[in-house]
Amino acid sequence: AQSVTQLDSHVSVSEGTPVLLRCNYSSSYSPSLFWYVQHPNKGLQLLLKYTSAATLVKGINGFEAEFKKSETSFHLTKPSAHMSDAAEYFCVVTPYNNNDMRFGAGTRLTVKP
């Protein structure tokens, strides 16, 4: 079985400062890991995914995440926050061989001017 825990329900940063959204996972199998973003009143959009290739994954809009097996973590980072990054972010884990996707509870990112 797999599960995912997003360690912060709300993160607030100032524009231009780094973003760190934390995600820990549990999986019995080699997992695929994803980060999705949801802007207000919109559907979820894929930011990036890890599927056992390079451990540092680059996504859209300057986001990246690092898969750390020893720490069972897949934290999302961005060097410099932009106002348009304000949204809800979801970490997702799934086994490599099926779509039993488990979503985290989400982290709401607020960006202050």
Partner 1 sequence: DSGVTQTPKHLITATGQRVTLRCSPRSGDLSVYWYQQSLDQGLQFLIQYYNGEERAKGNILERFSAQQFPDLHSELNLSSLELGDSALYFCASSVGTRGANVLTFGAGSRLTVL
Phi, psi of 48 (to 5 degrees): -165, 165
CB of 78 to partner 1, least distance (A): 20
Q: 24, 32, 73, 107: which one contacts partner 1 (CB under 8 A)?
A: 32
Length of the chain: 113
- Which is nearer to partner 1, 70 or 99 (by Cβ)? 99
How many beta carbons lie within 10 A of that of residue 53, not counting itself?
A: 8
CB of 81 to partner 1, least distance (A): 24
CB of 103 to partner 1, least distance (A): 5
Both structure tokens of 58 = 């680059």
**4 half-sphere exposure, CB direction, 13 A CA radius:** 27
Which spans of this chain sit near partner 1 (rule: CB under 8 A)?
31-32, 34, 36, 42-46, 49, 51, 90, 94-101, 103, 105-106
